[in-house]
Each structure stands twice: as C-alpha cells, then as structure tokens.
Amino acid sequence: MIKLNYIVSSLVMLMILAGCSDTKKETPKNTAEIVDSVSETNSNPVSTVDTTEEATQTDTENTSPEEETNTTTVEPPTTGKPRIHTSEDEKESPEGTVIENIPSNWYIRIVAEDSNRSLKTNLSQLGELEESDAVQEHTLVSGGRFTNPYLDVIFVDPDGVAAGDYKTNYHVYGQGINDSWRFQIVTDDANAEIRLSWNGLYVLTPTLDAQNRIQYSEYRSSTNPLIAKMKLVDSATGTEIPAMIDNDIQVYTFNMNGQVTRSFEWIVYYD
C-alpha cells in the first residue's frame, strides 16, 4: 500500500514538472513576436522619409518650368537702329498700286566693288532727315583703313562737323531745296576697275520711343519718284549718271586711271 501511494505521488510530480517545462518553452515564442512587432513599428519612419524625398523631388520638378519661364521672359533692349517694316505703312490706291510720295526722311547706300580682287563696301550712306541736328547726330566717323588691300567710300570734311573722314553724311531736309554730297572712292590699287552702284532709296519713318527718342523704321524702294531726281557726277571726267533710267537703277563702272582716290558728287534736284 505504501509503495502504491509512493508511485502515485511520483506520477503526480512528474506531471507537474512536465507542465512547467511546457510553459517555459512557450515564453521565447512570445518574446519573438514582440520583437517582430517592434521592428515593423520602427520601419514606418524610414518609409515616411522616403515618401518625403519623393514629394520634394516632385515639387522641384513642378517649379523648375516656372523658374525657366521667368528667366526667358526678359525682353531685349531697344537698339534704336532702323527696323525694316512691311508695305503696310505705304499708301495704296483702290487698284492696289502703291503710291509713293517724295519722302523727307531717306538715305542712299553707296556700293563700291572691285570684283577682280573680291573687294566690296556697302556701308556708306548719304541722306536727309527732318531732325534739326541730323548732321551732328547721324554723320558718323570712318573707322579708317588698316591693311591692304582695301576699298572704301568716304565723305571728306563734310559741312557741319569736324574735319575728317566719315562713313555717313546726313543733311537737314529742306522742302524743295536742292542738295548735294561729295564723297571719294579710295583704294590701294591705282589701276582697279571699280563698279559703283546704289540699292535704291531707303525711306525712313520716324517715331518716338518711351524715352521720347526718335527711332526710324525703313523700307527700300526702287520706284520712289525721288530717285528720278537724283544723279551721280564723276568729278574727274564730268560724266553725269542718272540714278535711274526707265525705272532701272543705274551702275557706273570706271577705272582708277593711275589714281588711288576718285571724287564724286551725288545731287538731288527737287524742282
């Protein structure tokens, strides 16, 4: 009987010990679940930072085009140089034929060419403006000749400005008053064959800008009636060449004949 009680007591103790052992084994499992949970919680800030960076990049991309647009909206400054305009500024008859009046603001561009040496100059201008200080403001000094070969058209000691060589020569317009300009063809080749021409008449239209300065728009005409009142005179030979004959702009070809300078006169007869 005593042995039976001892056996029963031993079995009970073994069962109790087995239950305690199972409880201890489950504890690490619960701890692992808590660690995993904490790890997931800590991953959220990383995800938030990534999202913020993406949002920042997106905002930058959206604002860049606006910044680029702002930098490209700066308008270029007004140069004050004549601007070519269309024939909208010209008067037209009901039949559509352009009616051109004799202008009070205009210029002629003198063109000299030595085709044998591929030399050409077309920057020299003579003309009239209604501006009272046209001579002083628009008669520009020549830059001079620095190397050979050279070919140039210059105005020497024109009235109203200091003595010297000039590339342009403008006079004050006087209605119905005849006018003339003296200029020279200069070259380093005393035997050069020179072709002298002009590109028609440049008609100028004055306007005032925001600073109350006079600006000019221009168009070129080969039919303006003023051209028919112009002629070129070769001072060395006395030869007279009308600027236009039968609606054709004329060209004058000559030889320097041993000279490096030839003088000419451009005349306008308004009457």
Q: Give 120's contacts (C-beta < 8 A, 6+ positions apart).
A: 111, 112, 113, 114, 151
Distance from CA of residue 222 to its chain's centroid? 28
pLDDT in tens, 152-205: 999 999 999 999 999 999 999 999 999 999 999 999 999 999 999 998 999 999
Backbone phi and psi for residue 32, each to the nearest 5 degrees, phi listed first: -60, -40
265 bridge partner residues: 182, 233
Calculate mean pLDDT across residues 213-240.
94
Asked if 125 and 167 touch (Cβ cutoff 8 Å), the reply is: yes
pTM value is: 0.64
Q: Is residue 55, in this structure, part of any structural domain at all?
A: yes
Q: From 22, 42, 74, give the residue that closes a domain.
A: 74
The total number of structural domains that make up the chain: 2
**Same structural domain, 198 and 152:** yes
Alpha helices in the chain (DSSP H): 2-71, 134-138
Distance CA 125, CA 109 (A): 5
pLDDT in tens, 17-37: 555 444 444 444 443 332 333
Percent of the chain with pLDDT over 90: 56
**Same structural domain, 7 and 107:** no
Q: Is residue 202, in this structure, part of any structural domain at all?
A: yes
**Same structural domain, 133 and 258:** yes
Q: Is residue 99, in this structure, part of any structural domain at all?
A: yes
